[in-house]
Amino acid sequence: MITFITTTTTIATTNCIALKTNGKSTCHTALDTCREDPSCLSSLQPMLMHCEMHRCNRNACMTSLQSFYKGPHEDLNLDVAFCLCKKTTNRHDACMIAQEKLHPICAQRPPDNNNQQSYTPPPSCHAVADACKEDRECRLKLEYYEQACAVDSVTKKCAGRPSGCRTAMIGILGTMLRTTCACQGTDPQHLYQCVGWRRLLWMNPCVVEAQKDFHMKRLAELGFLTTSSTSTTTTTTTTTTTTIRAPPPAPPPPPTTSTTTTTHRMPPPVVPPNKSPRKPPGHVFMVRELYKNKKKNKKTFLIKKYLD
């Protein structure tokens, strides 16, 4: 099965996101802007002359296309290279007509198809890359394009910046690397190589990203998109650590002097068992009785004398 991929189809397919965002085609606007600029118009005229389909001169068309992107109108190169057109069945659509002029099919024709009366199948994509490597200038552009628009094998993301990929893409426009190629045959190794080169040259996701990035920025500059800035509020939490110290311990109470009074009682007299206490002698008892009687008689005598 022969697969044909043209620049027109690629641009219309890979930029559908930008078209949905704005809803406007841009190729006819880019063409009009270029015609209004003197330096851009002088570079555009040779391309329009040599690249018309009814008078296509492939080599002259490719040369004029490369000269156009080397002109002093760098600010318009991106608008021309990455212009967009909405899909339509109207063959008289202004944008589609402008796109055919700015991205001529004539420059993408295989070298053996200049004669419209005969048809030669397009070359394989890896054969186009091999032919480019034989030319020093083309090889350098291919190497830069591979580096700027390469997909990282690990992350599956584009290795370079979108702006670098756009520059590299413009560098290969008008060269043999933009020749229409096809992958066909039964050899698995050659088929694998061909598909890899076709993906790099015609279906590169990094080119799609670079085109989308360009149109998003351009639409923002024209005021069609509003860039919303997200305000980030940073809340700083200050943690104050309050150390509560325990109150100092109460002073110990003054030492209490306790006076212990020990009363020593005299033990009772030991009375020998079965013995009664000794009675005082008899003469001592008689003296005490005599003394008491004498004292009593004296008192009686005094009372009687007082009464008399």
User: Mean pLDDT, the chain, as a whole number?
Assistant: 76
Note the pLDDT of residue 166.
Answer: 95
Does pLDDT of 67 surpass 90?
yes
* Domain assignment present for 218: yes
Among 85, 109, 133, the domain boundary falls at: 109
* Domain assignment present for 261: no
State both tokens at 277: 């206490």
Note the pLDDT of residue 239.
Answer: 45
Note the pLDDT of residue 295.
Answer: 55
238-247 tens-digit pLDDT: 444 444 455 5
* Domain assignment present for 201: yes
The full length of the chain comes to 308
Note the pLDDT of residue 173.
Answer: 96
- CA–CA separation, 103 vs 173, rounded Å? 9
DSSP assignments along the chain, one per residue: ------HHHHHHHHTHHHHHHH----HHHHHHHHHHSHHHHHHHHHHHHH--GGG--HHHHHHHHHHHHTSS-HHHHHHHHT------S-TT-HHHHHHHHHS-GGGGS-GGG--TTS--PPPBHHHHHHHHHTSHHHHHHHHHHHHHTPBPTTT-SBSS-HHHHHHHHHHHTTSGGGS--B---S-HHHHHHHHHHHHHHTS-HHHHHHHHHHHHHHHHHHTSS--PPPPPPPPPPP------PPPPPPPPPPPP--------PPPPPPPPTT-PPPPPPHHHHHHHHHHHHHHHHHHHHHHHHHH-
192-218 tens-digit pLDDT: 999 999 999 999 999 999 999 999 988
CB-based burial label for 297 (10 Å; 0-12, 13-18, 19+): exposed
Domain count, the chain: 2
262-287 tens-digit pLDDT: 445 555 555 555 544 455 444 444 44
* Domain assignment present for 209: yes
Note the pLDDT of residue 243.
Answer: 46
Note the pLDDT of residue 24.
Answer: 78
- 189 or 236, higher pLDDT: 189
* Domain assignment present for 291: no
Query: Do 207 and 177 lie in a common domain?
Result: yes
pLDDT average, residue stretch 248-257:
55
- 46 or 113, higher pLDDT: 46
pLDDT tier at 17 (50, 70, 90 boundaries)? Answer: very low
Query: Do 129 and 219 lie in a common domain?
Result: yes
Note the pLDDT of residue 101.
Answer: 94
Among 109, 142, 163, the domain boundary falls at: 109
Instruction: State which residues form the domain around 171.
Output: 122-224
CA–CA distances in Å: residue 73 to residues 32, 35, 120, 166, 221: 14, 12, 37, 16, 19
Ranges 82-96, 125-139, 253-267, most confident: 125-139
Q: Residue 131's domain is classified under what CATH number?
A: 1.10.220.110
pLDDT average, residue stretch 121-137:
94
Among 83, 109, 135, the domain boundary falls at: 109
- CA–CA separation, 128 vs 179, rounded Å? 7
* Domain assignment present for 28: yes
Note the pLDDT of residue 265.
Answer: 55
Region of 150 please: left (phi>0), alpha (psi -120 to 50) or beta. Answer: beta
Q: Residue 56's domain is classified under what CATH number?
A: 1.10.220
pLDDT tier at 155 (50, 70, 90 boundaries)? Answer: confident
- 97 or 251, higher pLDDT: 97
Share of the chain above pLDDT 70, in %: 62
- CA–CA separation, 268 vs 261, rounded Å? 21
* Domain assignment present for 52: yes
- Tokens 């104050």 map to which residue? 240
State both tokens at 25: 């085609």
